[in-house]
Chain A
Amino acid sequence: MDEFLIRALIGGFGVAVVAGPLGAFVVWRRMAFFGGTLSHSALLGVAMGILLGININIGIFAVCAVVAVLLVILARPTQLANDTLLGILAHASLAFGLIGLSFMEARRIDLMSYLFGDVLATTEQDIALILIGGGLVIAALVFLWRPLLAATVDEELAMVEGVPVKAVNLAFMLLLAVIVALAMKVVGILLVTSLIIIPAATARRFSTTPEQMAVYAAFGGCAAVAGGLWGSMSFDTPSGPSIVAAAFALFAVSLLVPAFRQR
């Protein structure tokens, strides 16, 4: 196997393993649109990263974190429905990101690779970042698991029972910001949400406990990465969209399974 393909697989698997369990929480908490908003704002992070001359992933994480905090802060005074606020922030940050990048045309920014990923160009540095960042996210998720699950079931009940719900929620949003920054390389800003939610949604039908769903989602994500890369190599299709297409194919197949069982 070619070395670049191995690097792509390792990077892709690393992201998928983390995105699966986080995606399960995104699905349970109905935060898919929130994930979309974070990923849209990631482009602004790219622009900031380049502009300030810092690591792009750090730029993405910083912008995502600011957007997450803004969402929490703005929710009360504006009294706008959550999805309206999410839509405003998603597209405003995407627009500002595109404007920011347009100033840097001279430096030949490959916009497409940010928007749709470029996993076949994964470097060893990328892999190190994914493994370290992903490892930290998994560790944090294991540590937060029980309070996060309690807050997911019912926030007020968890609060009365002594769970620091606000802190837990904030921590979860920051973890999402990390995974968005890491996953951009693999599927790109516009498709990040799909790598987070599709494997989790696929796993639901086979799971009887929350942990099972998280683990199955991680495996499903890896299968999508492998299948997508295979498709990308075989048919010379773009890698990011191919991975998402593979994830969707797995999801579609999973829909047939229980229908069979019921008959």
Chain B
Amino acid sequence: MAPSDPFAAADILLEASDLTVVRGGKEILAGAGLKVRGGEIVTLIGPNGAGKTTIIKVVLGLMKADQGKVMRRPGLVIGYMPQRLHIDPTLPLTVGRFLALGGSRGNGKGRARAAEVLGEVGAGAVMDTPLQAVSGGEFQRVVLARALLREPDLLVLDEPSQGIDVNGQAELYRLIARIRDRRGCGVLMVSHDLHLVMADTDEVVCLNHHVCCAGRPEMVTNDPSYIQLFGRQVAGTLAVYHHHHDHDHDAGGNVISHGEGEDHHG
């Protein structure tokens, strides 16, 4: 990772460094770290069991690391979307009530605000539907809405596209990018859908207990350790995908994006 200079540090929402977590004699994280700046989408990728969810839990304060430290900007408000949210079928809860449980401020305007945010994530019609009756895609949007209702500075999303078909997944990632553009919040997410996420991601962190490689998507996908981890085929798919996109590569293979993002990476 790049050494932090005082200018960049000013916009850092969250920085974790040198995290080590040992559970049951196994090293789940071995000196891993990551950094999220305001308005930046950081995507965490890696094979199953690589410690992606663990590092998310550590930076959220849900789990204690055996070593290393996590620094958050003081007063940072985090909106969190867990990997699996199981709502017991015996709990009669409508979407509206679920959203109200998130602790959004201002009870009187709570419902109107909830309706607004549900609209923002494209799930405006389900306000009074029982949670157990909404579709997988709607459910993920509802959980996202709950995170957004906190007016977060940082969104933390653990595999947000679970239980959604491929078309819906692409749509959800576009929605996340739009939310970032509109609200200017930072986004830290775990994803398996590399080819779908890469386009809107500013920084990729490839994790396999330690950080194998990190950087702009194009840098990472050309990194030998990345190719070794995911195989040439997946890496190849990504290369193809990138040709459809609205940016160019310079001689060194680095990306030159058009317009978007320069305010984050001056």
Residues of A within 8 A of B (CB): 27-30, 79, 146, 149-150, 152-154, 156-157, 159-163, 201, 204, 207-210, 212-213
Contacts and interface: CB of A to CB of B under 8 A. Distances in A.
A63 B108 CA distance: 43
Interface residues of B, number: 26
Interface stretch (B87-95, B209-217, B252-260): B87-95
Interface in B90-120: 90-94, 97-98, 101-103
A209 B62 contact: no
Interface in B48-66: 57, 60-62
Nearest to B102: A161
For the complex of A and B, 3 pairs with smallest distance between CB atoms: A160-B80, A28-B91, A150-B101
A204 B103 contact: no
A146 B82 contact: no
Interface in B125-146: 130, 146
A153 B24 CA distance: 28
24 contacts: A27-B90, A30-B88, A79-B24, A146-B101, A149-B101, A152-B91, A153-B87, A153-B93, A156-B80, A157-B80, A159-B62, A160-B62, A160-B80, A160-B156, A161-B80, A161-B103, A162-B103, A207-B92, A208-B92, A208-B130, A209-B92, A209-B94, A210-B91, A210-B93
A156 to B, nearest CB: 5
B150 interface: yes
Q: Tell me whether chain B's interface is mostly helix, strand or loop, or mixed.
A: loop
B78 interface: yes
B93 A157 contact: no
B85 interface: yes
A156 B57 CA distance: 9
A213 B92 contact: yes
A210 B97 contact: yes
A220 to B, nearest CB: 14
Interface string B172-214: 0000000000000000000000000000000000000000000
A153 B91 contact: yes
A210 B62 contact: no
Contact of A156 (B62, B88, B102): B62
By CB atoms of chain B within 10 A, which of A150, A160, A163, A207 has the most? A160
A146 B62 CA distance: 20
Contact of B90 (A201, A208, A212): A201
A255 to B, nearest CB: 14
B219 to A, nearest CB: 31
